[in-house]
């Protein structure tokens, strides 16, 4: 009877050792997986931060372009006003009137062109802002997932 109890005890200990070894292997695999996910998350965050920086640079460039186009628009408006005054003052001189009218028409065409460019730049600026907002939301999601992985990884380390 004592032999039978000893054999059963040894069998139970062997099973327990086997289960413990499996648990240790599982925990080590989970730690490695968490480590890999953490590194992948860090890389993704770095890429998203770079993308946000690029989008911010593009946004600054678009804002500068809008300011430049606005300044050109104001200059052309002033020139148009000056030409309109000259046109009115030289009504008696048909040749000068025709020349000034041509210049005025060209200035109007340039103003229209600049207004189109201004509208395009404004649309691009709005698109860039949307991209920045979307990227920021993605970063927030990645940071939240990374925090969860780090928290799980930290909890796994505490139990060892």
Name the average pLDDT for the chain.
86
3-state SS assignment for residue 1: coil
Query: ∠ CA 122-123-124 to the nearest 5 degrees?
Result: 90
Measured from the Cβ of residue 44, the count of other Cβ atoms closer than 10 Å reads 17
What confidence score (pLDDT) does residue 137 get? Answer: 93
Intervals of the chain under pLDDT 70:
90-93, 155-160
**pLDDT tens per residue across span 9-47:** 889 889 988 989 999 999 999 999 999 988 998 999 899
Asked whether 150 and 38 are in contact (CB, 8 A), the reply is: yes
Q: What is the pLDDT of residue 91?
A: 60
Which pLDDT belongs to residue 160?
45
How far is the C-alpha of 113 from the C-alpha of 35, rounded, in Å?
56
pLDDT (0 to 100) of residue 85 = 84
Query: Is the Cβ–Cβ distance between 138 and 51 less than 8 Å?
Result: no
* Class of the CATH domain delimited by 2-158: mainly alpha
Contact assessment for residue 42 and residue 146, using Cβ atoms and an 8 Å cutoff: yes
């Amino acid at each position: 009877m004592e032999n039978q109890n000893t054999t059963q005890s040894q069998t139970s200990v062997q099973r327990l050792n086997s289960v413990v070894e499996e648990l240790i292997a599982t925990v080590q695999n989970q730690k490695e997986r968490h480590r890999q996910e953490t590194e992948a998350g860090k890389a993704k965050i770095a890429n998203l931060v770079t993308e946000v920086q690029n989008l911010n640079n593009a946004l600054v460039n678009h804002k500068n372009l809008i300011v430049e186009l606005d300044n050109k628009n104001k200059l052309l408006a002033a020139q148009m006003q000056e030409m309109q005054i000259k046109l009115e003052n030289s009504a008696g001189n048909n040749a000068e009137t025709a020349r000034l009218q041509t210049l005025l028409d060209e200035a109007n065409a340039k103003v229209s062109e600049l207004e189109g460019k201004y509208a395009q730049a404004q649309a691009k600026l709005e698109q860039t802002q949307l991209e920045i907002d979307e990227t920021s939301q993605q970063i927030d999601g990645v940071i939240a997932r990374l925090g969860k992985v780090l928290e799980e990884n930290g909890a796994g380390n505490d139990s060892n």
